[in-house]
Every structure is written in C-alpha cells, then in structure tokens.
Chains A and B, each alone.
Chain A
Amino acid sequence: MNKLMSGNEAIARGAYEHGVTFAAAYPGTPSTEITQEFSRYEGVYAEWAPNEKIALEAAIGAAFAGGDAMAVMKHVGVNVAADPLFTVSYTGTNGGLVVVVADDPSMHSSQNEQDSRNYARFAKIPMLEPADSDEARRYIRLAFELSRRFDTPVFLRSTTRLSHSKSVVTLDEPREQRKATGAVKNAAKFVMVPAMARGRRVVVEKRMRDIGKFAETFSGNKVEINNPSMGIITAGMAYNYAKEAFPEASFLKLGMVNPLPETMIRGFTDRVDTLYVIEELDPVIEDQVRAMGIEVIGKEIFPYTNEFDPGVLVEAVTGKSPIKIRPELPALPNRPPNLCPGCPHRGLFYVFGKLNVFAAGDIGCYTLAFQRPLQGLDSCICMGASVGMAHGMSKAQEDGKNNVVGVIGDSTFIHSGITSLLNMVYNRSNSVVVICDNRTTAMTGMQDHPGTGVTLQGRETKALDFERLARSMGVDNVRVVNPLDLKETREAIKDELAAEGPSLVIARAPCALLKSKDGESMSPLMVERERCTGCRACISIGCPAISWRRFEQLDEPIPEKKTKKQEGIAVIDPAECNGCTVCSQLCKVNAIVEVRDND
C-alpha cells in the first residue's frame, strides 16, 4: 500500500514494521513526531523522558535487556545525551539500539546548526542517512539490523527537510515484535571501569574497521554512472537537490555516512572526470575523501551554512543566479513568529520589560518575548541555561542590587533546571527564578511531561509538584502567580527581587492552545470604538489579535476623534481573541470590553 508520509512518520512506521517495542525521547523540533507517531502503534512502549540523556539511558537499558530500543532527539539533544552515548559505544548493546537524531540546517527552530555526523565520528558509532520518507522507513530497519549484527549503537540521521516533508511510502506488514530476552551479566563488557574500558576500546576500533568493510557492500551505498564528466558524492537530502540540479551527472549516494566505504569511493573516483562532494553543513565526507588523497571540489563553492536547494547548487557550480525576475519592491515589514493570542507568557514578559530586569531566558515559545514590543527576555543559550546563568550573574554583580531573573518553562525546568535551582540554594544565591508553568511542552506541539500527570501513551501518573520540590530543596521563598494578572505578577517579581536568598515564582496559567483544546476559552473582547483614543497601550503587548487601524481603513460609521491628534483606533479580531484580558488591564479609558451577544 502507498501512503504519503513525512520522514518522521516513516521512521516511526519502519520501527514498528521491524518489531521495535521501546522508544524514549524528549520532544524537540524537528524530531518530536517520530516518538509521538510510534507511540500510537499496537504493542509498543514509548515514553517522554525528562531529557535526552535520560531517554538514551532508558533505551540503553532496554537494549541491554535484549530488546530493540530507540532514543529520539534533535541535534542539540545529543549534547545532553553525549555522556552515555560515548560509553555505550564501548559496551555495545546486546539487543538493538538506534539513536535517531534530527538536525536542523537553516535553524528553522533551533539555537545552532551543529552537524550530528561529527558525533558519529567522534563517538565511533555508525550512522545511516536516508534521503526520502520511504528510505527513512527502510533505513531505521537496517539500523537495527546493523546494531545487532555488530553489537553497536547506530545513529539514524534526519534533517528538518526530511522529517517535515512528505513523500510516497510503500508500507510493509509488521513482523513479530521482538521481546527483551533478559539482561545477562558480563562485567568485562558492561562495567566501564578503566581496566575493562581499555579492553573495550580495542573492540571499538576493530568494530569500526569491520563496519567499514561492510559499508563497501551495504545496499544503501549506491553508484549511478551516467555522464562521467561530473561525479558527485552525496548523501541524505542533498542527494535530491543534486539529482535535480545535475540530472546527467554520475552519483555515489552514501546511505551510510559513517564509516565511509573507501574502496567504493576510490572506484567511483576512477570512473569520473571531476569529483564533487555535495553535503549540507560541515565537510564531513569531503575532509575524509581529501584525506584519502583524492582531489575533490566541495566547500570552496558550496555553502557551509543553511539548507541547500537545487538552485543553490546550480549557482555554486555555474556561477549563474537562478533568480529570473527582479521587480523593484517596497520595503517589506518583517513578520516574526509571535506568541499566540491569550498566551500567558505575554503578561509575564510585559512585566519583565517594564521592570527592566535582565531576564536570563531559556528554550521555549517564550524565547520570542525578546522581540519588540515586549522586549522582556535577554538571553537564550540552551535548555536550562537560564537558572544557572541568573545565579552566576547575581553572584558576579557584587553591588548587592539584584536585577536579574532566570526564566524557564515548566518542561524545560524539568529537563535541566532542577539541579541548577539546587545549586542556588547550596551556594546561597540571591537570585529569582520564574517558572512559566503553562502545563505543557508548548513549543513542540503540546506534549505531556512529568509535571502534567499524564504519560505519552495517555496513562495517568503522579504529577511533579513544583512548590513542594522547591521547598524540599531549601527554597524558602516560593509563590504562585497568575501571569495574566499584570498587577499581581509585577508585585510578586518586585518583592522577590528585594527578598534575601533564592526565590521561586511559579507563573501558572495554561497554554492558550491547551485551553482552546479543552474548551475553556473565555469570551472574546472587543474595542468600543467610541471610547478608544488610539493611544496604542494595548498594542504594546504585541498580541496578534489586536491591530491598529487608521480611521480611513475602518468600516462606516467612522468613530469621532477623541483628541486632535488621534489618527485611528485599536481593533480586536473576535475570532482570534480568547479573552485573556491583558490588553484591557492596560486600557486607560476602559474601551476594551467583553463581546456582547448582539454584536
């Protein structure tokens, strides 16, 4: 049966077809849907872990117990999981273990553009890289086969363009699920103290040599000889761009990007005149081909940064721009992504902006609050960095005046903020941490987490209690505020900035999308046109439901001017507004009211 599937759906499908029964992940764009889709198949176990390290450790455990297990993460998640990753390469896996990693060339939804293929080389782990959805389905199966055959963890690499594009997939029937056979004691293999690790270190080198030999005949490494004047070595999504840009060229398409098939590469090189390596991000293949003593054209013409497309490649090779029309255009205002109407973060970050604190921020929807007009967030490094940085900043500022807050989402706090809060207590910090607790992992599409009381597969479980957790760690100043109440929020932040010792403010209100899903939206608001003075106070929160229209842009009857200088009024779109009231709290003339039924 043929079906249109995204790369992520196809990876989940392939794992299911292969009989994989265990998956653990932390949500992260563009990888999130893999685990979500997998969790819906019959007979599988899948969980959200608090972070990627814990997800990988759980998958290692499941593989040690003899099962087939995958850990799924975005590229920066591998940084978090790197500690167990490097050593499970030494122990091997017993069962099957695949780490699925989704890179994000162009940084559509990420803080950096790191290339995970470097991790495969660094940790000495083989890596497969599919180029379309059907290959994704097949390669995850090959990855599990490779894992068991060579007793090694295996990477499956995706990129945003593969994960989030759809192409036609041919489905196979699932085979029988493989149950875990049970853990077997083997200290020399599984207990990585120095004496044992030295033994395994040698095994790792031999294993990579063996897999290198296997790569020479691996079905995913394919030579296509067409016109021999141009030979292209490529892999993954870049293959598609190159194939469209240079359909007459000869190709060596690598399905396995670590280790490389040296004999195959030399053989291909001999059959073509000019050799190119086309790969997005780092010259991982190119550098190795050069190290074989082969002349190649690569990053001197193809970009290091951003995704490719066929036009980028044609321009790099021919020097001719693919742009065909160049109209003279007016300046186009930017349209940055924005917090949703009714988003509880809007109230909190409006307050930060007004108080002019340095808000050490974190990873989540709320990172967008750095933008105008809110300007309420001042740094973003990685998951959990806010809490540690706020501590460091307040310690370094010896003037005793504390104007720093660390602000972090509920899911991100659980991911990697808890130990940093403990650090504040231990090291007698004077800083303030604010958890924007919107009861979900919002940015990746509203996944549950240990604070929500529901698991990935929909089972009820104990919910983490942030207040009790903080008190048990020794945070004495703990309070809960409603971030949609500007006055309450402002006073709480001011009080805690002045307080002795570390403080935790939990700004708790459900994500606006969670609310609309649960049917809990409040009635929308509207602007009374005859009252509005056009002062733009409500516009200063940057809500997408509110726009400002000049008088001449309004429908009849046009309201009267309240001041000489007034040029227009604010307008609220009732279909977008969910009645959060943050705007009405700022309106000095009480012009923002609930929509009446007869309007």
Chain B
Amino acid sequence: MTDSRKVTTVLFVGVGGQGIILAGDILSEIVMRAGYDVKKSEVHGMAQRGGCVSSHVRYGSKVYSPLPGKGDVDILVSFERMETLRYLDYLNEKSAVVVNDETIFPPSVNLGEEPYPDAVMEILRRYFPAVKALKATEMARVAGDRRMANTVMLGALSSLSSIDEGLWKEVLKEALPKKLVEKNLKAFDMGRKA
C-alpha cells in the first residue's frame, strides 16, 4: 500500500441539527487550502432533526475513496456522548477521540423504555490512548450561543492537527456571517485550549 496509506480520516458524528455537516465542510476547506487532496462525504437522516448524522473528511496526497473502511478512522469527533459508541468499528488502537460530553436523549429513552447507557467515557478511556472530553455545548453557551458547539469542537480538533491555527481561523471567518465571527473565534479558542 502506498499513497492511500497516508490518507488521514476524520469522522464527525452526532445528532441532526448539531452543525456536523458544516463542521465537515469547514475542515475540508482548511485541508484543501493546506495543500491536500480531500474528499468529504456525509450521511444524514431523511428529516431534518433528531437522527444520527455523520460526516467523513479524508485528506492526503491523493484520496480515492470518500468513505473509510472499518478500522481506518484516525480521529473521531463526536458531538454527543452515546453516539461515540456507535462508530467504534471504524477506529483502531491509535485513533484519537474528541467527545462533546453532552447527552441528547433519543425517543425510547424519553419514553422510559430503554436506559441511556452509562460509563461511556470509561469505555472510551479503556480502549483509546487519546480521549479528549469537553462540555462543548456549555462552552459555546458561555461564548455567546450554544449553537456554536460545532465551532468549539473544531477548536478542540485543531489542537490535534499540525495545520496552522491561522488557517483554521481564516476559513472560519470566511464561512460565517460577519456578525457571528467574533463569538465563533472565541468559541474556537475555548475548544482549542480545552
């Protein structure tokens, strides 16, 4: 295996409405400008809210497949605690995991039919060397708007990346409406330092 081995895969997962697709779009633009070939792909539910959502960003000198195989994800960025566990087949012993330690209950939990699984963080820490957990939604709220949790998560992801911090911020600035830029840069910094 030559080129394809050097492909880096970031998998964003969470619940519809959390800004996962946008986070994937922003990372794709960043890595393209950093000089990589990139493919970005997403799976979103039929309706607009509540279902599982995932977005893959793969970059390297040459990327063929927009989808990784199982075991091939380098960094899992999960926007909801339990959702992290749905994608462990895609990870390997060296994968890094970034988790928004926040819960969104699915309908069956609200109805009292099933428990929300506990010990999620313990499972993650047992199997993966680098687990970064942060309260991204709460941090976003402090930064001015809880909908910026995706920006906080991008900040946290950026701290694992060798790509220049300035480039992350440059793309963020361009991707956002002007009046939201300042708050989002604050949210990004909070995530990066977390």
Mark A residues whose CB is within 8 Å of B: 2, 4, 29, 108-109, 132, 161, 164-168, 237, 239-241, 243-245, 247-248, 307, 309-312, 314, 321-325, 327, 329-341, 365, 367-368, 371-373, 443, 513, 536, 539-540, 542, 544, 546-548, 575-576
With A167-B38, A310-B69, A311-B69 as contacts: A325 and B49 at CB distance below 8 Å: no
Enumerate chain A residues within 8 angstroms of B50, measured Cβ to Cβ.
335-338, 340, 544
Q: Point out the residue from A4, A329, A443, A548 that lies within 8 Å of B28, measured CB to CB.
A: A4
With A161-B66, A168-B37 as contacts: A341 and B49 at CB distance below 8 Å: yes
Q: Point out the residue from B17, B48, B67, B127 that lies within 8 Å of A325, measured CB to CB.
A: B127
Is B110 interfacial (CB-CB < 8 Å)? yes
- The answer to whether A544 touches B49 (Cβ under 8 A) is yes
Enumerate chain B residues within 8 angstroms of A371, measured Cβ to Cβ.
107
The distance from the CB of A272 to the nearest CB of chain B, in whole angstroms, is 19
- The answer to whether B88 touches A546 (Cβ under 8 A) is no
- The answer to whether A333 touches B106 (Cβ under 8 A) is yes
With A240-B64, A546-B110 as contacts: A324 and B91 at CB distance below 8 Å: yes
How far is it, in angstroms, between the C-alpha of A310 and the C-alpha of B65 when the chains are bound? Answer: 7
The distance from the CB of A401 to the nearest CB of chain B, in whole angstroms, is 32
Q: Point out the residue from A108, A165, A513, A576 that lies within 8 Å of B66, measured CB to CB.
A: A165
Enumerate chain B residues within 8 angstroms of A336, measured Cβ to Cβ.
45, 50-51, 106-107
- The answer to whether A322 touches B71 (Cβ under 8 A) is yes
Is B179 interfacial (CB-CB < 8 Å)? no
- The answer to whether B49 touches A337 (Cβ under 8 A) is yes
- The answer to whether B46 touches A365 (Cβ under 8 A) is yes
Enumerate chain A residues within 8 angstroms of B63, measured Cβ to Cβ.
167
Nearest neighbor of B126 in chain A, beta-carbon distance: A327
Is B180 interfacial (CB-CB < 8 Å)? no
How far is it, in angstroms, between the C-alpha of A32 and the C-alpha of B25 when the chains are bound? Answer: 19
Tell which of B51, B83, B92, B93 has the most Cβ of chain A within 10 Å: B51
- The answer to whether A332 touches B45 (Cβ under 8 A) is no
How far is it, in angstroms, between the C-alpha of A371 and the C-alpha of B110 when the chains are bound? Answer: 14
Is B16 interfacial (CB-CB < 8 Å)? yes
Is B89 interfacial (CB-CB < 8 Å)? yes
Q: Which residues in window 117-157 of B have CB below 8 A to A?
A: 117-119, 123, 126-127, 146-147
- The answer to whether B86 touches A310 (Cβ under 8 A) is no
With A168-B32, A337-B46 as contacts: A324 and B51 at CB distance below 8 Å: no
How far is it, in angstroms, between the C-alpha of A312 and the C-alpha of B116 when the chains are bound? Answer: 31
Nearest neighbor of A368 in chain B, beta-carbon distance: B47
- The answer to whether A164 touches B42 (Cβ under 8 A) is yes
- The answer to whether B91 touches A373 (Cβ under 8 A) is no
Nearest neighbor of B107 in chain A, beta-carbon distance: A542
Q: Point out the residue from A314, A330, A542 that lies within 8 Å of B69, measured CB to CB.
A: A314
- The answer to whether A338 touches B107 (Cβ under 8 A) is yes
Enumerate chain B residues within 8 angstroms of A548, measured Cβ to Cβ.
105, 110-112
Enumerate chain B residues within 8 angstroms of A540, measured Cβ to Cβ.
111
Is B68 interfacial (CB-CB < 8 Å)? yes
Enumerate chain B residues within 8 angstroms of A132, measured Cβ to Cβ.
39
- The answer to whether B45 touches A337 (Cβ under 8 A) is yes
Enumerate chain A residues within 8 angstroms of B71, measured Cβ to Cβ.
311, 322-325
Stretch from B1-9, B161-169, B186-194 at the A interface = B1-9
Enumerate chain B residues within 8 angstroms of A167, measured Cβ to Cβ.
37-40, 63, 66
The distance from the CB of A369 to the nearest CB of chain B, in whole angstroms, is 10
How far is it, in angstroms, between the C-alpha of A245 and the C-alpha of B17 when the chains are bound? Answer: 33
The distance from the CB of A296 to the nearest CB of chain B, in whole angstroms, is 22
Q: Which residues in window 21-59 of B have CB below 8 A to A?
A: 25, 28-29, 32, 37-52
The distance from the CB of A517 to the nearest CB of chain B, in whole angstroms, is 12
Residue pairs across A and B with Cβ atoms less than 8 A apart, 9 shown, are A167-B37, A168-B37, A329-B85, A333-B106, A333-B108, A338-B50, A340-B49, A341-B49, A546-B110
Enumerate chain B residues within 8 angstroms of A248, measured Cβ to Cβ.
1
The distance from the CB of A171 to the nearest CB of chain B, in whole angstroms, is 14
Nearest neighbor of B66 in chain A, beta-carbon distance: A165
Q: Please list the 8 inter-chain residue pairs (A to B) with the smallest Cβ-Cβ separation, ordered nearest first.
A: A311-B69, A337-B51, A337-B45, A338-B50, A165-B41, A330-B117, A324-B71, A165-B66
The distance from the CB of A325 to the nearest CB of chain B, in whole angstroms, is 6
The distance from the CB of A409 to the nearest CB of chain B, in whole angstroms, is 12
How far is it, in angstroms, between the C-alpha of A165 and the C-alpha of B107 when the chains are bound? Answer: 30
Enumerate chain B residues within 8 angstroms of A165, measured Cβ to Cβ.
39-42, 66
The distance from the CB of A227 to the nearest CB of chain B, in whole angstroms, is 12
How far is it, in angstroms, between the C-alpha of A387 and the C-alpha of B131 when the chains are bound? Answer: 53
Is B82 interfacial (CB-CB < 8 Å)? yes
- The answer to whether B69 touches A243 (Cβ under 8 A) is no
The distance from the CB of A52 to the nearest CB of chain B, in whole angstroms, is 19
Q: Point out the residue from A247, A311, A325, A536 that lies within 8 Å of B3, measured CB to CB.
A: A247
B90-108, CB under 8 A of A: which get 1 and which 0?
0111000000000011111
Enumerate chain A residues within 8 angstroms of B126, measured Cβ to Cβ.
327
How far is it, in angstroms, between the C-alpha of A371 and the C-alpha of B106 when the chains are bound? Answer: 13
Enumerate chain B residues within 8 angstroms of A367, measured Cβ to Cβ.
46
- The answer to whether A325 touches B92 (Cβ under 8 A) is yes
Is B15 interfacial (CB-CB < 8 Å)? yes
